[in-house]
């Protein structure tokens, strides 16, 4: 198996929620010699230095300071998001009826609901633990093993199930945790056992259901990747892999890994926050730039927003504009939209096309059908806030927002190759 694909599979398995994705990113940055910065203190940055900042234990900004003056070269930016559609546990809704212990969920983002039914599920996220000294501390949790299931009603009891049945999120998505459990609260007991604390010490929960089945290669030639959270951890992994190999770039190379894109980015860790503008300005100031030179640096800057794209699906050909289909394993996709749901323009696309040509990487173009709505990404949010040239790209995939998605191995390797050339 190719080394970068093997590392992608490991990254996917280790990152069931954005809390764990943050840890996976920071571990790779630490191993590559990046220094963690405390943004509550003065930033000390040197040309050629490698640094990162983490905000609220999810979003990460990593960068390699360029060798040339910022106002001459600007920032080479690439952005993705680390969150994916999930089901979040409503911890206080845990109930037992006729010996069946169940817990309610909230739907985070826009998942394909049906895929979560009749599937072995695990639990991961973060909890707040109260110590004996009265201190409240956060702890990551990942049970890794199947502990929950959301069963369908039998077809004999729901004859409409194959005719477009709509699940009620309050009633039908409650997860079964145990039958005739000896524990009063099986959820807290399992978390407490994992953390080696008492259930009474667990003060609050940010926990999600997820599919613990490992990421895998599919196809006679192992040319496909099947996994949860490919949208958008695959793009996160591609950007990170390229940045880790950036050595002495002339322009300052920056990677942004945002949280909460799936719910609109309106959080302190999201693309609409002050995080990136603040960090870029502090980089400029630390490197000795004046305010005027900082804004001159922004005029020289460029953003590649990376979010997965829709691959042509032969079972649903009517869903695509035949002139703008993206085929899996035929290269990264430039995403276009007249309403700027994507940030790409004919002009901003040219730089990426030149990068692909230089790297020997094919590329494709994608437009949605004119009679269908278009999704969006962090690209328009970031580019409009900074006033910089940008484009949106992504690797083609099937079943976006399903609990199990599919993408191509060749596309992933190709995008990493292109991004390495971008960060030179």
Instruction: Please report the pLDDT score of residue 50 as a whole number.
Output: 98
User: 234 forms bridges with which residues in the sheet?
Assistant: none
- The position carrying tokens 């806030």 is 385
The residue-averaged pLDDT of 46-70 equals: 96
Based on the fold, state whether residues 153 and 243 are members of the same structural domain.
no
| Domain boundary pick from 210, 243, 273 | 210
| Domain boundary pick from 151, 182, 210 | 210
Based on the fold, state whether residues 239 and 378 are members of the same structural domain.
yes
Q: What number of residues does the chain have?
A: 424
The residue-averaged pLDDT of 288-305 equals: 97
Based on the fold, state whether residues 329 and 244 are members of the same structural domain.
yes
In CATH, what number is assigned to the domain containing residue 243? 3.40.630.10
Is residue 176 in some structural domain? yes
Range of the domain at 201: 86-210
Based on the fold, state whether residues 342 and 401 are members of the same structural domain.
yes
- The position carrying tokens 């749901």 is 341
In CATH, what number is assigned to the domain containing residue 151? 2.30.250.10
Based on the fold, state whether residues 364 and 321 are members of the same structural domain.
yes
Is residue 216 in some structural domain? no
Based on the fold, state whether residues 347 and 234 are members of the same structural domain.
yes
Based on the fold, state whether residues 120 and 109 are members of the same structural domain.
yes
Residue 318 pLDDT level (bands cut at 50, 70, 90)? very high
- C-alpha span between 289 and 275 (Å, rounded): 19
Percent of the chain with pLDDT over 70: 100
Give residue-wise pLDDT tens across range 241-252: 999 999 889 999
Based on the fold, state whether residues 163 and 125 are members of the same structural domain.
yes
Q: In the chain, how many domains are there? A: 2
Rounded to the nearest angstrom, the gap between the alpha carbon of residue 352 and the centroid of all alpha carbons in its chain is: 22
pTM (two decimals): 0.96
Under 8 Å between Cβ of 99 and 179 = yes
Based on the fold, state whether residues 327 and 386 are members of the same structural domain.
yes
Instruction: Please report the pLDDT score of residue 192 as a whole number.
Output: 96
| Domain boundary pick from 147, 177, 210 | 210
Is residue 219 in some structural domain? no
Give residue-wise pLDDT tens across range 183-240: 889 999 999 999 999 999 999 999 999 999 999 999 999 999 999 999 999 999 999 9
Instruction: Please report the pLDDT score of residue 182 as a whole number.
Output: 83
Residue 132 pLDDT level (bands cut at 50, 70, 90)? confident
Based on the fold, state whether residues 297 and 412 are members of the same structural domain.
yes
The residue-averaged pLDDT of 258-279 equals: 97
Based on the fold, state whether residues 90 and 203 are members of the same structural domain.
yes
Based on the fold, state whether residues 234 and 356 are members of the same structural domain.
yes
Is residue 217 in some structural domain? no
């Amino acid at each position: 198996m190719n080394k970068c694909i093997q590392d992608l599979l490991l990254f996917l398995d280790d990152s069931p929620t954005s809390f764990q994705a943050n840890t996976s990113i920071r571990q790779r940055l630490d191993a590559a010699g990046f220094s963690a910065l405390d943004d509550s203190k003065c930033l000390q940055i040197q040309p050629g230095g490698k640094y990162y900042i983490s905000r609220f234990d999810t979003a990460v900004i990593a960068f390699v300071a360029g060798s040339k003056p910022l106002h001459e070269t600007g920032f080479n930016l690439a952005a993705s998001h680390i969150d994916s559609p999930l089901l979040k546990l409503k911890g206080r809704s845990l109930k037992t009826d006729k010996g069946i212990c169940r817990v309610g969920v909230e739907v985070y983002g826009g998942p394909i609901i049906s895929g979560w039914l009749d599937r072995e599920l695990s639990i991961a996220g973060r909890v707040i633990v109260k110590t004996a000294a009265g201190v409240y501390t956060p702890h990551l949790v990942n049970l890794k093993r199947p502990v929950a299931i959301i069963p369908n009603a039998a077809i004999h009891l729901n004859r409409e199930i194959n005719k477009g049945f709509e699940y009620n999120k309050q009633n039908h998505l409650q997860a079964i945790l145990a039958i005739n459990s000896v524990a009063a609260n099986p959820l807290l007991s399992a978390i407490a056992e994992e953390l080696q604390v008492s259930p009474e010490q667990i003060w609050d929960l940010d926990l999600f259901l997820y599919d613990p089945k490992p990421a895998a290669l599919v196809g006679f030639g192992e040319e496909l990747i099947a996994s949860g959270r490919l949208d958008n951890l695959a793009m996160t992994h591609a950007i990170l892999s390229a940045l880790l190999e950036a050595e002495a770039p002339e322009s300052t190379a920056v990677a942004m890994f945002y949280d909460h894109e799936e719910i609109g980015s309106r959080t302190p860790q999201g693309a609409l926050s002050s995080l990136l503008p603040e960090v870029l300005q502090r980089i400029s100031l630390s490197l000795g730039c004046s305010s005027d030179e900082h804004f001159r640096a922004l005029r020289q800057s460029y953003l590649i927003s990376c979010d997965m794209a829709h691959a042509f699906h032969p079972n649903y050909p009517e869903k695509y504009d035949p002139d703008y289909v993206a085929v899996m394993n035929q290269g990264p996709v430039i995403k276009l939209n007249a309403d700027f749901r994507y940030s790409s323009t004919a002009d901003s696309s040219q730089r990426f096309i030149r990068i692909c040509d230089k790297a020997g990487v094919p590329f494709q173009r994608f437009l949605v059908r004119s009679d269908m709505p278009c999704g969006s990404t962090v690209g328009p949010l970031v580019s409009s806030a900074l006033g910089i040239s940008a484009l949106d790209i992504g690797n083609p995939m099937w079943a976006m927002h399903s609990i199990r998605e599919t993408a191509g191995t060749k596309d992933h390797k190709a995008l990493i190759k292109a991004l390495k050339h971008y960060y030179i």
